[in-house]
Amino acid sequence: MKLARTRAELQAALAGAARPLGLVPTMGWLHDGHRSLIERSRRENRATVVSIFVNPRQFGSSEDLARYPRDEARDLAICAAEGVDIVFAPPVEEVYPAGFDTTVSVGAIARPLEGAARPGHFDGVATVVAVLFGLVRAERAYFGQKDAQQVMVIRRMALDLAMATEVLSCPTVREPDGLALSSRNVRLSPEQRAAATVLHRALVAARTLHERGEASGDALRGEMRRVLATEPLARTEYVSCADARTLLELERVEGPALLSLAVLFGTVRLIDNEPLG
């Protein structure tokens, strides 16, 4: 496995890499969700690049950039064990060199939900992913469905800007009790960790209600709020029952939809989602 710290080292490593190439962009603190992305990339490509970069541009001023968990030695060991060919783990100035002055801003799909709750977040995500796509020029890139809106934003960007990298999304990986794997889970106290199963419980309750025939968006959002309210440590930021293509809130579910929510446990913010139909 080659480790590249600079753009030049990355280009040198890529020169000898087999094609097709898969890219797994990450912010490190790798878990089984990332492992599933790496495994899929390895199945579908002849070489896999993992990027490890905690992107400051996608964190708001009051957000948890400084507290974002980091353990590069552990991440590199996981990549080696998973058979990754190249790890790109650059410092900030290699991704955003002096003079860097471009922001990629995706339109309507980036506005609701996470876009509304975290202003500027998707500009940061789209910009860093555009840089990574440009540097790696992979045939395919793999993202987790837990960040469903992120996948839609990146797809929109790749399509609109005629990027050659195909954007693929992979199923959310969960703990046995339903909690979606996230690098942020490590920051939960034991009590918060136990309480955090409420995200998945709320989604399952709303999905079950829908399966029993309930199509009202308000009723499904209400069901998620009802379940979340049973957990005193959970502070609900939003619940959503939206059109799966536009992410606009639905009055009635009559086609593919996405249930999603964002919940705070102290300062730890967790998101999750569940498709309907």
Q: Does residue number 27 form part of the binding site for ligand PAF (CB under 6 A)?
A: yes
Binding to ligand PAF, residues 130-189 (CB under 6 A): 147, 150
State the sign of the Cα–Cα–Cα–Cα dihedral 90, 96, 99, 100.
positive
Nearer to ligand PAF, 125 or 198 (CB): 125
- Does residue 129 touch ligand PAF according to CB under 6 A? yes
Please report whether residue 75 would count as binding ligand PAF according to CB under 6 A: no
Q: By C-beta, is 84 or 220 nearer to ligand PAF?
A: 84
Stretch that binds ligand PAF, among 23-31, 40-48, 215-223, 253-261 (CB under 6 A): 23-31
Could you tell me the smallest distance in angstroms from the CB atom of residue 257 to ligand PAF?
23
Bridge partners, residue 275, by sequence: 258
31 is catalytic: no
Q: How far apart are CA 216 and CA 56, in angstroms?
A: 39
**List 31, 34, 121, 200, catalytic entry:** 34
Calpha distance 144→41 (Å, rounded): 12
In the bound state with ligand PAF, the residue whose beta carbon lies nearer, of 48 and 55, is 55
Half-sphere exposure of 4 (CA within 13 A, CB side): 22
What the block records as the tokens of 8 is 């030049």
Token pair listed for 33:
């969700």
DSSP helix/strand/coil, 40: helix
Cα separation, 235 vs 261, in Å, equals 11
Residues that bind ligand PAF (CB under 6 A): 25-27, 55, 58, 125, 128-129, 147, 150
Report the catalytic residues. Answer: 34
